[in-house]
């Protein structure tokens, strides 16, 4: 523990000119950041702005190329997370590092360096968790816990080391609105105890509500410091993005068209020990409408996508109907031939092969549906036609790239996603199923993608969007259904949907949907 | 000072082309050191090893004889490795192909017609492919590790051949030597140009197979499927390609080509079955496949290089009296250096001084 006298009043952390270079990319360029004692400081920026790189340098998992870090007024060299912990810096990661097969207490014990008996740790953790209003049973298996509860373990684990500075990386991205509220109360309490918090987010409302000051990053540089309470969401967004961000325009749905995609009582056994089983899911998507599926991560959304896309087959052919045809036993290519298109959550390695060029990645999902246009006799690939089509998609979706036909991995997340969405839109699919359409995508590209999905629906297609971003779902959906623990609620028309109502469903307030099942049947 | 590997932003095309050459160079240097440790003049030894066999036409024919099975097997293996199926058992598929291909000339020596040879080749292909299907089935059905199963099946095949030539198939007029009767002329793979040397049609098969598979990999949907499933299986599933069908495809193609190599070797170069019919072609072909960057055209060149190491080994044994084990040592070093140099395609080497670790000044020169 560093207890040297303070040279510089009340600043806990001062960062000067911190720079990190990866290859030719300056991920962080001359970053200045000051965090006072007892403040909640926001670090704002879009995906890829360099927030995570900066934080990793503060936590010692990356070594800066240049710059200085002053801790309590003293020059500090943070060479490893161990050093950071000793100084009094704690971190709660966006992606948890917990062993699912161990209990909460065992997971906490693993990160503590000493030999404290597990019973003592459990008792301490329990006391701490209740005193901060984060109830947690230390003896429960992590695999059985919800994402919000897992986050509590991470926070308790961090607090047990009595840090002076707590870094939270996108903590609310996995929480229901109600869980987020409870987290904010805890953070405010920590602040009142004199602890400092570095709060990383791109959610402006939260930042304005919670934080005392903010540092805004764009393209690896600090573009401003401000007091978020004195700013409007749109002025903050402007600083983050650099330009005005438009919301997608949503015209009211025209007459509900005919049913194009229906899921009838579909169940699926868990594929692995920690995947979620799907339980009796009913859903019908008609032409002309966008249906959103909300839910906290890990409640079966991925399993639902695999089942609908045909990467996993159903036991009964009637469990899924696409344009009136029973498709439950069909593979993904056959479902595409019925007019469906799919965009998975993971871009690299699922939606696209990272080391293949864009034109090859076009062929990836279109070789069956555009067999005549792209493949000649004897399976000969018509590369001319494919390159032309790829260029068409690149132009329509405004995909920015560095080479004429680059490898998919060379594109930024947003540009690759625009290409992947454009690849499917180019077919004019009757049914479009998208999982996390704008995850990790910058605001400009996200708006472009959302607009494209709405337009597709307005032209008569059925669009199903699975997303954890509630703002996005409220922006584009005609009705929203909620997944919780492998069950899907009845869709709520957007006019009746409130953040509170959806949030309650995300927390599992309405288990089972028997009335809904009866109604559809 | 320490050495760091820094990931390149993308694959280096330059080092993708240079890496096999650097590996060859390093192998020669290491070989020279090895020869001088053995007390031989390294320059003379390397001359006998790598230059002398190329000086006469008949020995170029020998080069083709040795290269043919290596290339045939290696192009099949390239399909396996590109699709992420680790077939290490080509040696066994080679042996089984040789045995099934020899059924006609050994069991029906009186059946002599123009059709015997084509039938032998087809049966050789079928035998090798069927033997390759065993690890494929085990992988798809029981999720076994194909590296282990295919490798273990090599020893099964070798011992089966040993038993066949000592037992049921032993030449009745062969003075109890463990070998089958010699093949009748209609069962012998003809030489391409018999006036100048021994090279047989096996070499032509190898070149044709390499070009055909190159075309398939680079121009057809099937080749695309191989590459996608090998590079990112999940994207391949998303594309609607079947992983299990690909396992069978890869093992059947590579097994079939290894079987063809086996029967071509027996029918062309040896003329009968013996307890040992291969100096480890099936294993050396793994080196050939990687030295050729898993590209069938590159494999033709790599096959010739490895064939030279066999010829050179024989030459060096005769002229300077080193052990024939030196061949294996050379092949091992070559594979080691090829795999090591491949690191340079994805990473570059950076030397870091002890002082540079301090967080003072950015001195990036990228």
CATH number of the domain within which A120 lies: 3.40.50.300
With CB atoms and an 8 Å threshold, state whether A331 touches B360: no
For residue A5, tell me if it sits in a domain: no
Residues of chain B contacting residue A368, judged by C-beta atoms under 8 Å apart: 240
Return the minimum-mean-pLDDT range out of A300-304, A305-309, B144-148, B251-255.
A300-304
Residues A75 and A207 in one domain: yes
Q: Does residue A149 lie in a domain region?
A: yes
Are residues A113 and A161 part of one domain? yes
Q: Which of residues 149-208 of A touch B (CB under 8 A)?
A: none
**Residue A344 resides in a domain:** no
- Give me the pLDDT at residue B302, please: 93
pLDDT in tens, A471-514: 889 999 999 999 988 899 999 999 988 888 888 888 776 654 44
Q: Are residues A312 and A380 in the same domain?
A: no
Quick one: pLDDT band at residue A434, thresholds 50, 70, 90?
very high
Domain boundary among A190, A214, A241: A241
Are A157 and A299 in a shared domain?
A: no
Same-domain check for residues A76 and A134: yes
β-partners of residue A33 are A15
Q: Does residue A521 sit at the B interface (CB-CB below 8 Å)?
A: no
Instruction: Write phi, then psi, for A480 (nearest 5 degrees).
Output: -125, 130
- Interacting residues of A3 by C-beta distance below 8 A, sequence separation 6+: none
- pLDDT grade for A247, boundaries at 50, 70 and 90: low
Indicate if the pLDDT at residue A114 is higher than 80: no
Question: Can you give the C-alpha Rg of chain A in angstroms?
Answer: 24
pLDDT digits (tens, 9 = 90+) for B347-364: 888 887 654 444 333 333
Is A249 within the bounds of a domain?
Answer: no
CA atoms within 13 A on the CB side of B282: 33
For residue A408, what are the domain limits? 349-428
Question: Is this prediction's ipTM beyond 0.90?
Answer: no
Which of A392, A409, A428 corresponds to the end of one domain?
A: A428
A282 plus A305 within the same structural domain: yes
- Residues of chain B neighbouring A336 (CB-CB closer than 8 A): 240
What average pLDDT does this structure show over B219-228? 95
> Would you say residue A190 lies in a domain?
yes
Instruction: Give the start-to-end residue ranges of the domains of chain B.
Output: 68-297
* Domain annotation covers residue A33: yes
Of B228, B240, B359, the CB nearest to A353: B228
Q: Is A507 on the interface with B (CB under 8 A)?
A: no
Within-domain flag for A387: yes
The CB density around residue A88, as the number of other CB atoms within 10 Å, is 19
Same domain, A131 and A41: yes
CB distance B237–A23 less than 8 Å?
A: no
At B315, is the pLDDT very low, low, confident or very high (cuts 50, 70, 90)? Answer: confident
- A250 occurs within a structural domain: no
Into how many domains does chain A fold? 3
Query: Chain A within 8 Å of B353 (Cβ-Cβ)?
Result: no
Number of Cβ pairs closer than 8 Å across A and B?
95
SS3 A196: strand
* B7 inside 8 A of chain A by CB: yes
What is the rounded CA–CA span in Å between residue B221 and residue B338?
A: 30
pTM here is: 0.79
Q: Please, how many CA atoms are within 13 Å of residue A515, restricted to the half-sphere of its CB?
A: 5
Residues B231, A367: C-beta atoms closer than 8 Å = no
Tell the burial category of B143 from Cβ atoms under 10 Å away from its Cβ (0-12, 13-18, 19+).
Answer: exposed
Across B282-290, average pLDDT: 94
In angstroms, what CA-CA distances link A46 with A40, A137, A219, B134, B356?
A: 19, 35, 9, 52, 32
> Looking at residue B243, what is its pLDDT?
94
Expressed in angstroms, the distance from the first to the final Cα of chain B is: 20
pLDDT of residue A447: 87
Q: Picking from A232-241, A256-265, B151-160, which range would have the lowest pLDDT averaged per residue?
A: A232-241
| Same domain as A173, residue A88 | yes
Q: Three-state DSSP class for A263?
A: strand
Query: Is there a single domain that holds both residue A50 and residue A75?
Result: yes
| C-beta atoms of B235 and A353 within 8 A | yes
A228 vs A240: which has the higher pLDDT: A228
Q: Which of residues 203-232 of B touch A (CB under 8 A)?
A: 219-222, 224, 227-228, 231-232
Question: Would you list the DSSP string of A72-121?
Answer: TTEEE---SHHHHHHHTEEEE-SS----TTSBHHHHHHHHSSS---HHHH
Give yes or no: residues A129 and A220 share one domain.
Answer: yes
- Residues with Cβ within 8 Å of residue A487, at least 6 apart in sequence: A279, A280, A281, A300, A511, A512, A513
Q: Does A456 lie in the same domain as A506?
A: yes
Domain co-membership, A183 together with A99: yes
Last residue of a domain, one of A211, A241, A271: A241
Q: Is A368's Cβ below 8 Å from some Cβ in B?
A: yes
**A365/B238 CB distance under 8 A:** yes
Signed CA dihedral, B225, B227, B233, B239: sign only: negative
Q: Where are the beta strands (DSSP E) in chain B?
A: 2-7, 347-352
Tens of pLDDT, residues B119-176: 999 999 999 999 999 999 999 999 999 999 999 999 999 999 999 999 999 998 888 8
């Amino acid at each position: 523990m560093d207890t040297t006298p303070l040279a510089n009043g009340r600043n806990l952390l001062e960062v000067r000119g911190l720079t990190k270079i990866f290859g030719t990319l300056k991920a962080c360029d001359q970053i200045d950041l000051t965090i006072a004692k007892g403040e909640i400081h926001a670090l704002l920026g879009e995906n890829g702005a360099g927030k995570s790189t900066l934080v990793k340098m503060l936590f010692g998992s990356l070594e800066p190329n240049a710059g200085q870090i002053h801790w309590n007024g003293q020059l500090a060299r943070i060479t490893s997370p161990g050093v950071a912990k000793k100084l009094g810096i704690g971190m709660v990661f966006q992606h948890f590092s917990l062993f699912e097969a161990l209990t909460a207490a065992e997971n906490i014990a693993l990160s503590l360096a000493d030999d404290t008996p597990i019973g003592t740790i459990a008792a301490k953790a329990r006391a701490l968790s209740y005193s901060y209003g984060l109830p947690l049973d230390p003896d429960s298996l992590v695999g059985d816990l919800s994402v919000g509860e897992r986050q509590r373990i991470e926070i308790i684990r961090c607090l047990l080391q009595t840090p002076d500075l707590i870094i939270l990386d996108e903590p609310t991205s996995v929480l229901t609105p109600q869980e987020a509220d409870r987290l904010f109360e805890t953070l405010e309490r920590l602040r009142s105890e004199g602890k400092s918090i570095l709060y990383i987010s791109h959610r402006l409302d939260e930042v304005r509500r919670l934080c005392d000051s903010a540092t805004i990053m764009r393209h690896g540089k600090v573009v401003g410091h401000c007091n978020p309470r004195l700013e409007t969401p749109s002025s903050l967004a402007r600083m983050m993005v650099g330009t005005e961000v438009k919301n997608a325009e949503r015209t009211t749905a025209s007459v509900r068209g005919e049913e194009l995609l229906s899921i009838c009582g579909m169940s699926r056994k868990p594929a692995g020990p920690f995947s979620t089983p799907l339980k009796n899911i009913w859903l019908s998507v008609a032409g002309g409408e966008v249906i959103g599926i909300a839910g906290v991560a890990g409640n079966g959304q991925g399993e639902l996508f695999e089942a609908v896309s045909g990467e996993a087959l159903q036991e009964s052919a009637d469990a899924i109907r696409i344009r009136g045809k029973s498709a439950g036993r069909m593979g993904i290519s056959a479902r595409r031939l019925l007019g469906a298109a799919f965009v998975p959550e993971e871009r690299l390695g699922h939606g696209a092969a990272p080391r293949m060029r864009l034109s090859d990645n076009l062929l990836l999902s279109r070789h069956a549906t555009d067999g005549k246009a792209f493949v000649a006799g004897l399976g000969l690939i018509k590369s001319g036609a494919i390159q032309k089509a790829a260029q068409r998609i690149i132009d329509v979706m405004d995909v920015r790239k560095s080479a004429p036909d680059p490898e998919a991995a060379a594109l930024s997340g947003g540009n690759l996603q625009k290409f992947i969405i454009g690849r499917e839109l180019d077919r004019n699919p009757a049914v479009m199923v998208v999982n996390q359409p704008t995850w990790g995508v910058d605001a400009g590209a996200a708006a472009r993608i959302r607009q494209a999905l709405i337009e597709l629906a307005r032209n008569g297609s059925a669009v199903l969007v699975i997303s954890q971003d509630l703002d996005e779902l409220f922006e584009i959906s005609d009705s929203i259904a909620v997944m919780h623990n492998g069950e899907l609620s009845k869709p709520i028309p957007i006019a009746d949907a409130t953040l509170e109502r959806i949030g309650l469903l995300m927390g599992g307030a309405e288990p089972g949907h028997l009335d809904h099942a009866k109604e559809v049947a | 000072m320490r050495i760091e590997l820094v990931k390149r932003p993308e694959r280096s095309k330059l080092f993708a082309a240079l890496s096999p050459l650097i590996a060859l160079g390093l192998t020669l240097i290491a070989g020279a050191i090895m020869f001088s440790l053995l007390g031989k003049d390294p320059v003379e030894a390397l001359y006998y090893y790598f230059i002398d066999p190329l000086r006469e036409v008949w020995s170029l024919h020998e080069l083709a004889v040795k290269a043919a099975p290596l290339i045939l097997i290696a192009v099949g293996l390239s399909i396996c490795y590109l699709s992420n199926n680790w077939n290490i058992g080509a040696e066994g598929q080679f042996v089984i192909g040789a045995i099934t291909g020899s059924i006609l000339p050994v069991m029906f020596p009186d059946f002599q017609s123009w059709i015997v040879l084509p039938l032998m080749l087809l049966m050789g292909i079928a035998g090798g492919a069927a033997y390759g299907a065993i690890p494929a089935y085990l992988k798809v059905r029981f999720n076994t590790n194909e590296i282990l199963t295919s490798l273990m099946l090599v020893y099964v095949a070798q011992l089966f051949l040993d038993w066949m030539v000592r037992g049921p198939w032993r030449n009745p007029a062969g003075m109890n030597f463990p070998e089958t009767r010699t093949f009748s002329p209609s069962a012998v793979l003809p030489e391409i140009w018999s006036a100048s040397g021994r090279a047989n049609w096996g070499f032509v098969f190898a070149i044709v197979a390499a070009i055909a598979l190159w075309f398939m990999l680079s121009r057809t949907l099937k080749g695309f499927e191989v590459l996608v499933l090998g590079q990112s299986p999940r994207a391949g599933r998303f594309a609607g390609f079947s992983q299990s069908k690909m396992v069978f495809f890869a093992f059947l193609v590579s097994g079939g080509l290894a079987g063809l190599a086996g029967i071509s070797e027996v029918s062309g170069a040896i003329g009968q079955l013996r307890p040992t019919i291969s100096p480890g072609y099936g294993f050396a072909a793994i080196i050939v496949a990687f030295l050729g960057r898993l590209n069938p055209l590159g494999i033709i060149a790599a096959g010739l290089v490895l064939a030279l190491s066999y010829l050179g080994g024989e030459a060096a044994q005769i002229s300077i009296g080193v052990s024939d084990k030196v061949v294996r040592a050379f092949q091992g070093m070559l594979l080691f250096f090829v795999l090591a140099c491949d690191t340079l395609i994805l990473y570059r080497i950076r030397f870091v001084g002890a002082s540079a670790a301090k967080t003072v000044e950015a001195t990036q020169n990228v």
